[in-house]
Homo-oligomer: A and B are copies of this chain.
Amino acid sequence: VVETSSTNRPWTYARSGVDRARVSSGLAALLAEVSYRPPPSAGRLVNAPGHYAGMIRIGRETIAVTTDTVGTKVKLAAELGRWEEVGEDIVGVNVNDLASVGARPSGLVDTILCRAPEPAAFRGIGRGLDRGLRRARCALLGGETAVVPEIVDGIDLGATAFGFFPRGRRPVLGAAIRPGDRLLGVPSSGFHANGFTLVRRLLRERSVDLLRPRPGEKRPVGEEVLTPTRIYSAVGDALAESSATHGLAHLSGGGVRNLVRLHPKARFVLDRWPEVPSLFRWVQQLGGLSDEEMFQTFNMGIGFVLVVGATRLAETRRRLARAGAPDAVDLGHVERGSGVTVPGYGLSFEGYS
């Protein structure tokens, strides 16, 4: 069972007041009670604990499923009265997890909880949702809109997406990863939808005017920070077809630590991490945050990572370019061992959470 928690990253939220130990123990208490495993007549579970998606084999097809919300990024959207970006994020946060197991997106259902259904906000959310679905080539299969003023302040946005493995493609779960493999990274579009409790706290504490650009930029800060999650569906779909691809990882909450989810006995050495985009540096300075905290909270400019057989790098790069990611960069390689290191910053992480 893959039970993810958007706040299950202690380091991210230590400063913003979420008690990590309580989250873990709450979740553990829940999961300890769920022991039921259905008979094969309901489908055959694919065992991939801690991975990005739950998977089950139904007849001749394997279905992958992910669920996630946009988190507190909606609060920034509300403050700015801009809803298209987070509407698009509803899709991105989910289909990028499907891409991480090599599944092609098929359908999505959204869940909107709100205090009141403001037509302008709903129109913006719909516009963003449409754009995200278009990028992911995914159908909207339904949704739930609950007006629950007693439960929600403002709007909460979440969804569940499911995908499949066309023409007998196998899930890409990292088992093929071996020492010597190369790591390629596809740039992110910004913070995506992670770490916003922290980002918003820093912006507020430093009294940053969201309607003005930060030094050297043209777009207002609020708009820049809201930029929707880059969608890696085409990349995941194209790369999962290739035997050169040994692993795929969406760098969501947890930053580079996400790589640990791919293989327990591999060390991911990120010794060629590219220059970190100035937006991340600027936020880091606002809060006086350490490199360690930054790399395990944010994507630091790289949103999706591929683990590729060393002899097949050129071929993979061509495939990436055709799939809309000509901007992929070398990040490093795989060694014997465990964990993730970023030597240029003197960082070393063991474990995902």
Q: Which A residues contact B (CB, under 8 angstroms)?
A: 1-8, 18-19, 22-23, 25-27, 29-39, 41-43, 45, 53-56, 58-61, 63, 65-69, 71-72, 74-75, 104-107, 109-113, 116-123, 125-127, 129-130, 133-134, 137-148, 150-154, 156, 158, 160, 162, 164, 166, 197
Instruction: Knowing A25-B119, A117-B27, A122-B26 are in contact, say whether A143-B60 is a contact too (CB < 8 A).
Output: no
Q: Complex Cα distance A232/B151, Å?
A: 28
Which of B110, B137, B150, B197 lies in contact with A42, CB distance below 8 A?
B137
Which of B5, B58, B148 lies in contact with A145, CB distance below 8 A?
B5
Determine whether the beta carbon of A151 is less than 8 Å from that of B148.
no
Offer 12 A-B interface pairs, CB within 8 angstroms, sorted by A.
Answer: A3-B143, A4-B143, A7-B146, A55-B141, A63-B63, A67-B109, A67-B143, A68-B144, A111-B111, A113-B156, A144-B158, A152-B153
Main secondary structure of the interface of A (DSSP, over half): mixed
- Could you say how many copies of this chain the assembly holds? 2
- Give the residues in chain B near A151, CB-CB below 8 Å: 72, 74-75, 152-154, 156
- Give the residues in chain B near A66, CB-CB below 8 Å: 109, 142
Determine whether the beta carbon of A33 is less than 8 Å from that of B142.
no
Which of B18, B43, B142 lies in contact with A164, CB distance below 8 A?
B43
Q: Complex Cα distance A5/B166, Å?
A: 33
- Give the residues in chain B near A144, CB-CB below 8 Å: 4-6, 67-69, 158
- Give the residues in chain B near A123, CB-CB below 8 Å: 29-30, 32-33
Which of B109, B116, B145 lies in contact with A160, CB distance below 8 A?
B109
- Give the residues in chain B near A150, CB-CB below 8 Å: 72, 75, 153, 197
